Amino acid sequence: MRNLTRTVAMGLALAALGLAGTASAATQAELMKLHRGGTLELISSSSEGTIDPQVNYTAEYWQLYQGVYDGLVTFAKGEGADGNKIVPDLATESPAAEDGGKTYVFHLRKGIKFSNGQEVTVNDVYASFVRIFKVKGPTAGTFYNGIVGADACLQNPDTCSLKDGIVVDPKADTVTFHLTAPDPEFFDKLAVPHASILPADSPMTDVGTKPLPGTGPYMFKSYAPNQELIMVRNPNFKQWSEAAQPDGFPDEIDYKFGLTTDASVTAVENGQADWMFDSPPTDRLSEIGTKYASQVHVSPLTAFYYLAMNVNLAPFDNQKVRQAVNYAIDRNALVNLFGGKVLAQPACTILPPGFPGYEAHCDYTKDPGTKWTAPDLAKAKELVKESGTAGQKVTVIVEDKAVDRNIGTYVQSVLNEIGYDASVKAISANIQFTYIQNTNNKVQISLSDWYQDYPAASDFLNVLLSCASFHPGSDSSINISGFCDKKVDADMAQAMSTAITDPAAANKEWAKIDQEVMVAAPMAPLFNPKRVDFVSKRLGNFVFSNQNQFIPELAWVK
Amino acid sequence: MVDTFSETLSEQAAADIAAEVISRPGRGPWATAFRRLRRDRAAMVALGVLVLILVACALAPLYAHLAGTDPFRPNLDGSITLNGQSVDVMQPSTTGLGLGVTPIGPTWTLHYLLGADSQGRDVAARLLYGGQTSLFIAGMATVICLVLATLVGVVAGFFGGWVDTVLSRILDVLWAFPIYLLAISLSIVLLNTTLHIGPIALTSDSLALPIAIVGVIYIPYVARPIRGQVLTLRHSEFVLAAVGLGIPAWRILWRDILPNVTTTLIVFVPILMALNIVTESALSFLAIGVQPPNASWGTIIGDGEALLYTRPMVALAPGLAIVLTVLALNVLGDGVRDALDPRTKIR
């Protein structure tokens, strides 16, 4: 109670000073005096595999890496869209591009130490980037393939050398990156956890459950995937940038695994846990939104749920059929299945609202314009009739989660209504995502979702729909629709090129590409979800960044 | 058949049976068993419950027609008139932060008697249609299981030797095989292929898949006692005499062995039905049995799992239906066993 009073008082003081968002350095010191300490208890239904920051590619652990590892640059630890800003981290500043956008020279900060006591050097930076290739990081071929020498590293990871691509000068503490071509998203790619700087003597294999030293305010103490992950303070941490890597409030962060989502909600209600990773189950939403409203945070996500239609397989190899599906889907019904209007909004475009390149536009609705209003079943049926595909068998593949199963069943009914013989198959969430990517499985239509890796239009359009993202026969073919249009590819390349010099103009180009792709309709955007974070009564200073969502180390429990 | 067991009967039991036979001249063992069954009140109540459930399930289309509902089609935007007022089937929360959408609860009227599921479908209608599916699968699986188990048990027990060894080991393997793993594997394999077993084509959404799985897995459960019984019969005097007279094996099996294991098979019918209903429900709950939009009691429980806090009736109703049916089948099974067992009177 006393802590709460003090917190409210401090909040009022902040508001009076007009210091909304991240507190100033002086304020942070004051808050530290008041709230530093305690153990933050987090829970999740399951762990997410390896703890290696250069291998793990899950939102659950990317959240934790924020407080453990640093890159040369990073996303600011800020509220909402502030979290999309890139700020210098281990580098003293974000350097200007040289050589027409193909060279960047970073200056390394001095005096920063890893949690094992070793000082961070430029050699660690070089070794970390080589390690991305040697551990066969999941984004090695997509994020870091533009570094000179990366092609050879991708071919032969074990003998990887980036001597020509990354030149270090220990005396000047500089790291120079040479790229094969200008990359407007280079800083975004350096800011994600896969580009974390690790000690040069780190194993060149996935470390699995053995944590690697980092430079952030916390370090991983132990990790048992079936039980818990414990983070304690890094004894060698000294804050160098509040925006990039502020000190954390809790002394310890314990992350427990294995509770069901229902049990997690109850644990948070009872104060046995401070935050749950999983979204609360839909039948508990009403309860927590009513009885525990002050402990609920609803935040928009830069993400979308969509139906991926295989453009190389009947009946979706026919553009009219894909358009028909887009016309027929009642987005409001799906919003209801997801939890209601507070938790989602109908989507018409691939880029989510508020995202770079987003422009409100909706073709596939009763009254085409800027927003979706109602399905147009008559138009859908007409298109199916014109396509001559009515009566064909169609199977919808979804994950076996309750919400996804419900969406799948609804989509099945819509497909039946417009003339197909549809069935729906729910398969384990562990395999569905890779299953629907592999063309050998002959998936016709599937439910999927996509969340931003970093705030750039290409992270949606180029990643999900470029020819380069389509790998027939592979489990790793994120272009699930198999859409490959040379003109769209060329337009996307042009937009990325424009972004180097004129991001605003590039965003306009991306908006056009978004609309252009939607005419071909390789997918049916369904809705943009929102995130529900349910926290304990004692948890204060909940900060939600658009990039990494909840920032655990900025929350206090004391 | 009485001869087979008479050696093990006490004098009192034998006297009881003799008295019963004398008092009812001309009544055969089947009529006697039926008469005993009719006297068993618990079994008769169970039979009544089963008949009620069967009739209710058979009348599913009539209920759906009267209620004006399509149990296989989502109704996310629909509304009904309740007490003169229009009520949404899917009701967005209007309190607090307005999170969540809850399906309408039981109205105890013809429309949405037991409420709606997360797709806005009438739970009562789905319960009745689901019962049809569950009982059909359990019934078909029981027939398959009994036929195959009898074949294996009789052949293994009668011929013995290497035939018995091979068949018994196959039963061991089948008994040890994890059924749910088998079901999950099959459902994944069949996602984009069709499995052809002779004239039968199995696809992932075919009812033949859960029927085949459920029908096969309990074969050892039935085949083993049959085999044991046949092993005993094989050395009984009337079989030895038939063998000695040179009567062909198939005829001995058909005329002498099979009639003597029939009562055992009949006892197994309700027990297997009960087991199969539960197994089918478990498979469907795990989304590897009956596929949407079809319903079975298991799939409805699966649908209701996500509504346990707000609309427990969705899971409760099919759960109760399963409990009632299985309980009734077990009680009836006990009654049938007692009726067919000549030793019953002394227990």
pLDDT tens digits, A157-184: 999 999 999 999 999 999 999 999 999 9
Cα distance between residue B198 and residue A542, in whole Å: 62
pLDDT in tens, A528-553: 999 999 999 999 999 999 998 999 99
**Option in A287, A340, A441 nearest B98 (CB):** A340
Angle (CA) B240 B246 B250, round 5°? 85
Using CA coordinates, name the residue in chain B closest to A295. B97
Instruction: Identify the DSSP state of A246.
Output: P
| Residues in B touching A395 (Cβ below 8 Å) | 191-192, 204
Question: CB contact, 8 Å: B344 with chain A?
Answer: no
Q: Are B100 and A298 in contact (CB < 8 Å)?
A: no
| Residues in B touching A342 (Cβ below 8 Å) | 97-99
> What are the tokens at A518?
């939607």
* The pLDDT of residue A149 is above 80: yes
* The pLDDT of residue A123 is above 50: yes
Q: Residue B346's pLDDT is what?
A: 38
End-to-end CA distance of chain B: 20
* The pLDDT of residue B164 is above 90: yes
Cα distance between residue A348 and residue A413, in whole Å: 20
* The pLDDT of residue A24 is above 90: no
Question: CB contact, 8 Å: A265 with chain B?
Answer: no
Instruction: Identify the DSSP state of A129.
Output: H
Q: How far apart, in Å, are the Cα atoms of B21 and each of A118, B26, B33, B148, B261?
A: 98, 8, 12, 35, 22
Min Cα–Cα distance to chain A from B254, Å: 45
Q: Residue A402's pLDDT is what?
A: 81
Residue type, B305: E
Q: Quick one: average pLDDT of A134-163?
A: 93
Among B94, B99, B189, B291, which would you mutate to test the A interface (most chain A Cβ atoms within 10 Å of its Cβ)?
Answer: B99
pLDDT in tens, A432-479: 888 999 999 999 999 999 999 899 999 999 999 999 889 899 887 889
B49-60+122-346 CATH, one of 1.10.3720.10, 1.20.20.10, 1.10.10.1200, 3.40.50.150: 1.10.3720.10
Q: Quick one: average pLDDT of B167-184?
A: 86
> What mean pLDDT, rounded, does chain A reach?
92
Kindly report the number of other CB atoms within 10 A of residue B123's CB atom.
32
pLDDT range class, residue A26, cuts 50, 70, 90: low
* The pLDDT of residue B249 is above 70: yes
Do residues A378 and A470 share a domain? Answer: yes
Q: Are A532 and B99 in contact (CB < 8 Å)?
A: yes
Q: Are A340 and B204 in contact (CB < 8 Å)?
A: no
Q: Residue B203's pLDDT is what?
A: 74
Dump the DSSP string for B243-257: HHTT--HHHHIIIII
Give the rounded percent of residues in chain A with a pLDDT score beyond 90.
82
Q: Residue B23's pLDDT is what?
A: 58
Q: Are B293 and A293 in contact (CB < 8 Å)?
A: no
* The pLDDT of residue B127 is above 90: yes
Task: Identify any residues that bridge with A275 across adjacent strands, giving them in sequence order.
Answer: A42, A535
Q: Are B292 and A412 in contact (CB < 8 Å)?
A: yes
* The pLDDT of residue B288 is above 80: no
Cα distance between residue B132 and residue B113, in whole Å: 19
Using CA coordinates, name the residue in chain B closest to A408. B292
Structural domain including A221 reads 2-46+213-298+550-554
**Option in A283, A286, A408 nearest B306 (CB):** A283
> What mean pLDDT, rounded, does chain B reach?
86
Q: Residue A10's pLDDT is what?
A: 38
Min Cα–Cα distance to chain A from B77, Å: 7
Dump the DSSP string for B292-315: TTS--HHHHHHHHHTTTTT-THHH
* The pLDDT of residue B27 is above 70: no
| Three-class SS state of A499 | helix
Q: Residue B24's pLDDT is what?
A: 59
Question: CB contact, 8 Å: B109 with chain A?
Answer: no
Question: CB contact, 8 Å: B74 with chain A?
Answer: yes
Q: Quick one: average pLDDT of A330-356?
A: 93
> What are the tokens at B186?
């099959």
| Three-class SS state of B145 | helix
Cα distance between residue B59 and residue A95, in whole Å: 76
Inside any domain, residue A540: no
pLDDT in tens, A470-521: 989 988 788 999 999 999 999 999 999 999 889 999 999 999 999 999 999 9
Among B72, B93, B97, B303, which would you mutate to test the A interface (most chain A Cβ atoms within 10 Å of its Cβ)?
Answer: B97
Give the rounded percent of residues in chain B with a pLDDT score beyond 70.
90
Per-window interface: B 156-175 vs A, CB < 8 A: none
Q: Residue A456's pLDDT is what?
A: 93
Checking ipTM against 0.90, whether it exceeds it is: no
Q: How many CB pairs under 8 A join A and B?
A: 130
Do residues A266 and A307 share a domain? Answer: no
Q: Residue B157's pLDDT is what?
A: 93
Cα distance between residue B54 and residue B43, in whole Å: 16
Q: Are A283 and B308 in contact (CB < 8 Å)?
A: yes
Cα distance between residue A172 and residue A200, in whole Å: 18
Q: Are B287 and A293 in contact (CB < 8 Å)?
A: no
**Option in A409, A410, A441 nearest B192 (CB):** A441
Do residues A67 and A150 share a domain? Answer: yes
**Option in A288, A290, A339 nearest B101 (CB):** A339
Question: CB contact, 8 Å: B287 with chain A?
Answer: yes
Cα distance between residue A425 and residue B184, in whole Å: 12
* The pLDDT of residue A83 is above 50: yes
Closest Cα to residue A167, out of A253, A259, A85, A99? A99
| Residues in B touching A427 (Cβ below 8 Å) | 187-188, 191
Question: CB contact, 8 Å: A298 with chain B?
Answer: yes
* The pLDDT of residue A200 is above 50: yes
**Option in A286, A424, A435 nearest B99 (CB):** A286
CA A424: distance to chain centroid?
28
Per-window interface: A 417-456 vs B, CB < 8 A: 423-428, 431, 435, 441-443
* The pLDDT of residue B1 is above 70: no
| Three-class SS state of A90 | coil
Q: Quick one: average pLDDT of A188-194?
A: 96
pLDDT in tens, B43-97: 999 999 999 999 999 999 999 999 999 999 999 888 999 889 999 999 998 888 9
Q: Are B192 and A443 in contact (CB < 8 Å)?
A: yes
Q: Residue A9's pLDDT is what?
A: 37
Task: Identify any residues that bridge with A257 across adjacent strands, giving them in sequence order.
Answer: A44
Using CA coordinates, name the residue in chain A closest to B204. A425
Cα distance between residue A398 and residue A27, in whole Å: 48
Instruction: Answer with the residue of higher pLDDT: A28 or A130.
Output: A130
Do residues A309 and A294 share a domain? Answer: no
Q: Are A340 and B192 in contact (CB < 8 Å)?
A: no
Task: Identify any residues that bridge with A422 across adjacent strands, giving them in sequence order.
Answer: A394
Angle between helices B123-159 and B219-234 (to 10 degrees): 30
Q: Residue A17's pLDDT is what?
A: 37
Question: CB contact, 8 Å: A333 with chain B?
Answer: yes
Cα distance between residue A195 and residue A216, in whole Å: 14
Dump the DSSP string for B219-274: HHHHHHHHHHHHHHHHTSHHHHHHHHTT--HHHHIIIIIHHHHHHHHHHHHHHHHH
Q: Residue A324's pLDDT is what?
A: 98
Using CA coordinates, name the residue in chain A closest to B103. A283
H helix intervals, A281-401: 282-291, 319-328, 331-338, 377-387
pLDDT range class, residue B340, cuts 50, 70, 90: confident
Cα distance between residue B219 and residue B276, in whole Å: 12
pLDDT range class, residue A4, cuts 50, 70, 90: very low
pLDDT range class, residue B285, cuts 50, 70, 90: confident
Task: Identify any residues that bridge with A397 across adjacent strands, giving them in sequence order.
Answer: A425, A446
Radius of gyration of chain B (CA): 25
Inside any domain, residue A543: no
**Option in B99, B292, B311 nearest A409 (CB):** B292
Domain count, chain A: 3
| Residues in A touching B97 (Cβ below 8 Å) | 289-290, 293, 296, 298, 342
Phi, psi at B234, each rounded to 5°: -55, -30
SS3 letters for B14-54? HHHHHHHHHHCCCCCHHHHHHHHHHHCHHHHHHHHHHHHHH
Using CA coordinates, name the residue in chain A closest to B191. A425
Q: Are A336 and B73 in contact (CB < 8 Å)?
A: no
* The pLDDT of residue A408 is above 50: yes
pLDDT in tens, B104-121: 999 999 999 999 999 999
Pick from A166, A195, A224: which residue ends a domain? A195
* The pLDDT of residue B228 is above 90: yes
| Three-class SS state of A42 | strand
| Three-class SS state of A393 | strand
Question: CB contact, 8 Å: A284 with chain B?
Answer: yes
Task: Identify any residues that bridge with B90 across adjacent strands, giving them in sequence order.
Answer: B103
In this prediction the pTM is 0.81
Do residues A513 and A372 share a domain? Answer: yes
**Option in A289, A405, A441 nearest B97 (CB):** A289
Question: CB contact, 8 Å: B299 with chain A?
Answer: no
* The pLDDT of residue A128 is above 80: yes
* The pLDDT of residue A294 is above 60: yes
Among B70, B72, B95, B101, which would you mutate to test the A interface (most chain A Cβ atoms within 10 Å of its Cβ)?
Answer: B101
* The pLDDT of residue A37 is above 60: yes
**Option in B76, B101, B291 nearest A425 (CB):** B291
Pairing of β A86-88 and β A73-75: antiparallel
| Residues in A touching B202 (Cβ below 8 Å) | none
Q: Do B67 and B109 meet the contact criterion of CB atoms below 8 Å apart?
A: no
Q: Residue A3's pLDDT is what?
A: 33
Min Cα–Cα distance to chain A from B303, Å: 8
* The pLDDT of residue B5 is above 80: no
Which residues fall within 8 angstroms of residue B1, CB to CB, at 6 or more apart? Answer: B29, B259, B260, B263
**Option in A298, A340, A409 nearest B293 (CB):** A409
Cα distance between residue A240 and residue A217, in whole Å: 11
Q: Residue A400's pLDDT is what?
A: 80
**Option in B100, B118, B287 nearest A340 (CB):** B100
pLDDT range class, residue A22, cuts 50, 70, 90: very low
Per-window interface: A 527-546 vs B, CB < 8 A: 532
Inside any domain, residue A53: no
